[in-house]
Amino acid sequence: MPDQQIHYRTCNLCEAMCGLEITYQGKEVLTIKGDKADPFSRGHICPKAVALKDVYEDPDRLKVPIRKTANGWEEMEWEEAFDYVAERIKEVQDKYGEQAVGVYQGNPNVHNFGTMVFGPNFVRSLKTKNRFSATSADQLPHHFAGQQMFGHAMLLPIPDIDHTDYLIILGGNPLVSNGSIMTAPDVGKRLRAISQRGGKVVVLDPRRTETADKMDEHHFIYPESDVYFLLAMIHVVIAEGKLELGHLAAHTDGLEDIKALVANYSPEQVAQRTGMEAATIRQIALEFCQAEKAVCYGRLGVSTQLYGGLCQWLVNVLNAVSGNLDVSGGAMFTAPAFDQIKMLGKKGKAPSFNRWQSRVRGLPEFGGELPVAALAEEILTPGEGQIKAMVTIAGNPVLSIPNGKELDKGLEELEFMLSIDIYLNETTRHADVILPATTGLEVAHYDVVFHALAIRNTSKYSEVLFEKEDRQRHDYQIFSALTERMGGKAVPAANPEQVLAFSLGQSGYAKDGLSLQALKDNPHGVDLGPLQSCMPDRLMTGDSRIQLAPDCFLEDCKRLSLVEYQEQTQFPMRLIGRRHLRSNNSWMHNSHRLVKGRDRCTMLLHPADGERLGIQDGELAKVSSRVGELEIKAELSDEIMPGVISIPHGWGHNRQGIGLRVAAEHPGQSLNDLTDEHRIDLLTGNAAFNGVPVKVEAVAATVSA
């Protein structure tokens, strides 16, 4: 029997980039612990890390191509599968045109180095504008604001939480998400450190989240009213004479437009719309200004709503006008070793926005993609340009995009579907062919995206732990083979490691000895230091100036109204999502260790609403919206504000034909059978999952708690 050995790597299951110490023997994982020598995560891990072992050992995981036949699924040889897929896609495009093929890329794409490097060329080889991804169901407003204000979609200000004295969190739950557009392992300890050094963390959310429960202050705020809170905050900054642009004053345009915009949004004017006391808003604003170092952070709850673009823009504006942009303890910009902006960005390049529109609703393109809220109708609506074939890459949109049942129906009508995925899930069950890539412990890894979104500059490369089986293929091998057959342009490298070596050689850190070999010699990772002021040098706008008030945002503000928040309608309550530490969207529910225990797919309901509706704790409730309905167990709690309910995202493993045995035993209900594809942020096209109008009713049958 071989000796026990230790392998160090980064966990790639969420954004936090926690360092792992994996003890193994032969090809068996014995333990997974936090790597105390990792300079970034400092020994911290969350419960999801054990799922790397579960995914590697999962008997439900696919390892070779499979094809749907009249007699069920059958295995294929790789070369046969590549040829067959290319032939079928070309048949569809020859018959209906290039736009008849659609592409959807799921969240796991950005967690896999090979896919990040080799996937784009394959997508381009399909020559279709019908491209969709999880971006427009998540963080698109961040990218939109970054592009409009700073000249590049990846120029995203990151909260410097290790050095701030005052942090406002809007619609974020970092103790559960481990950050999110703020890569921060061990974030709980980092946030508590703010209070311990005399600072303050204030959370605004319709739910008293796990983060809110442990921070200094929490205030309930009505769903989709964050934009008014932000306008009032900026109003106070300016009205109280606290305006301070600091070193960016000479490089910023649009301040007068901001002053004019916020003039009519005092705390008193927005109080009723937000559900907050005017005095509370004013106090938070003054405390924010008086803190030596302060930063506002808005995340999923403020992105996935009707005013997501405005919210992320105003977060940046608030940080800027209070003197907290591009300074220590404020909102800062990263300098990653693998620098996509430096390598691919072009100063003064016209924004990639609205160059084309979706066929049915005319929704705008951003970054080469259309809003995912338009995907189902583009399949189901007849006419020229209708999607007749789909390619899904590491995604499960049936459970993750608004009105997933409508997409479920659409996928049934396709003439051909390819899924590049390791599981037979709610989406891939519709595929004609599934091509599974290696994953997790079988691949080398470098976090292209999350080093660029981290609260500290670091760099780390994880080598392969277990060599793949001969019958398996890596993601980059799959993409290369398909790109070649589709006549696309190949990546000028044999593998992702060669791309990384070249990119690190072009890095500003290369002069200090950073290289691929240096990272291999330092498996715990390399600390490159805290975030540093870098403006205006890092700006990508044509005139190297910050655009504080782009016309598109000012125009979109015309949608705002200070009418009373909640009107009596057919659907009088508002739905918001929530996340659990042991879940990551829909793709971690086949790990027994992560789904065991009490039922986490419940509807949070305020006790006063429960009494009014005749619903007791543990009873089934019926929830309906414009697009659908479901029955779900009620969990009465004062952590949710009255008039609002919360259902977690990513469940609904009760469809026929999936090959996820553990998930099927813990199916839950899909939140996205209620969310509405016609509720979008009109500015960016991002899906508006939060604030969906719903009706809640009692169901006679009682479920034991």
Spatial separation of the C-alpha atoms in residues 167 and 473, rounded to whole Å: 45
H-helix segments, 558-691: 592-595, 607-613, 661-665
- Annotated domain spans of the chain: 140-336+543-558, 566-702
- Class of the CATH-defined domain 566-702: mainly beta
- Across-strand partners of 223? none
Spatial separation of the C-alpha atoms in residues 501 and 59, rounded to whole Å: 35
Residue 705 pLDDT level (bands cut at 50, 70, 90): very low
Structure tokens at 491: 């990546």
Give Cα 533 to chain centroid, integer Å: 26
Q: Coil, strand or helix: which one is 357?
A: strand
Spatial separation of the C-alpha atoms in residues 481 and 479, rounded to whole Å: 6
User: Could you tell me whether strands 416-420 and 629-636 are parallel, antiparallel, or unpaired per DSSP bridges?
Assistant: unpaired
- Asked if pLDDT for residue 701 goes beyond 50, the answer is no
Q: What's the confidence (pLDDT) of residue 585?
A: 76
Nearest in space to 179 (alpha carbons), one of 219, 225, 135, 139: 139
The residue assigned the tokens 């004053």 is 249
Q: What is the mean pLDDT of residues 162-184?
A: 95
Distances (CA, A) of 574 to 347, 677, 684, 690: 42, 16, 22, 8
R_g (Cα) of the chain, nearest Å: 25
Spatial separation of the C-alpha atoms in residues 299 and 211, rounded to whole Å: 13
Residue 527 CB-density burial (10 A; 0-12 exposed, 13-18 middle, 19+ buried) = middle
Task: Say how many C-beta atoms besides its own lie within 10 A of residue 524's C-beta.
Answer: 18
Q: What's the confidence (pLDDT) of residue 567?
A: 58
Spatial separation of the C-alpha atoms in residues 195 and 203, rounded to whole Å: 13
What residue type is 248 in one-letter code? Answer: L
C-beta separation of 41 from 21 below 8 A: no
C-beta separation of 392 from 419 below 8 A: yes
Q: Coil, strand or helix: which one is 6?
A: strand
Report pTM: 0.97
Q: At what angle do helices 113-125 and 496-505 cross, to 10 degrees?
A: 100
Q: What is the mean pLDDT of residues 413-437?
A: 98
Residue 677 pLDDT level (bands cut at 50, 70, 90): very high
Q: What is the pLDDT of residues 91-140, one digit of tens each?
A: 999 999 999 999 999 999 999 999 999 999 999 999 999 999 999 999 99
Output the average pLDDT for the chain: 95
| CATH 1.10.10.10 fits domain 140-336+543-558 | no
Its sign, for the CA torsion 300, 304, 306, 309, is positive
Q: What's the confidence (pLDDT) of residue 568?
A: 59
Q: What's the confidence (pLDDT) of residue 581?
A: 86
What residue type is 203 in one-letter code? Answer: V
Spatial separation of the C-alpha atoms in residues 560 and 553, rounded to whole Å: 11
Residues with Cβ within 8 Å of residue 148, at least 6 apart in sequence: 313, 351, 547, 550, 552, 553
DSSP at 639: T
Instruction: Decide if 140-336+543-558 and 566-702 have a common fold.
Output: no
Residue 609 CA neighbour count, 13 Å, CB half: 25
Q: What is the pLDDT of residues 315-348, one digit of tens each?
A: 999 999 999 999 999 999 999 999 989 887 788 7
Percent with pLDDT over 90 in the chain: 92
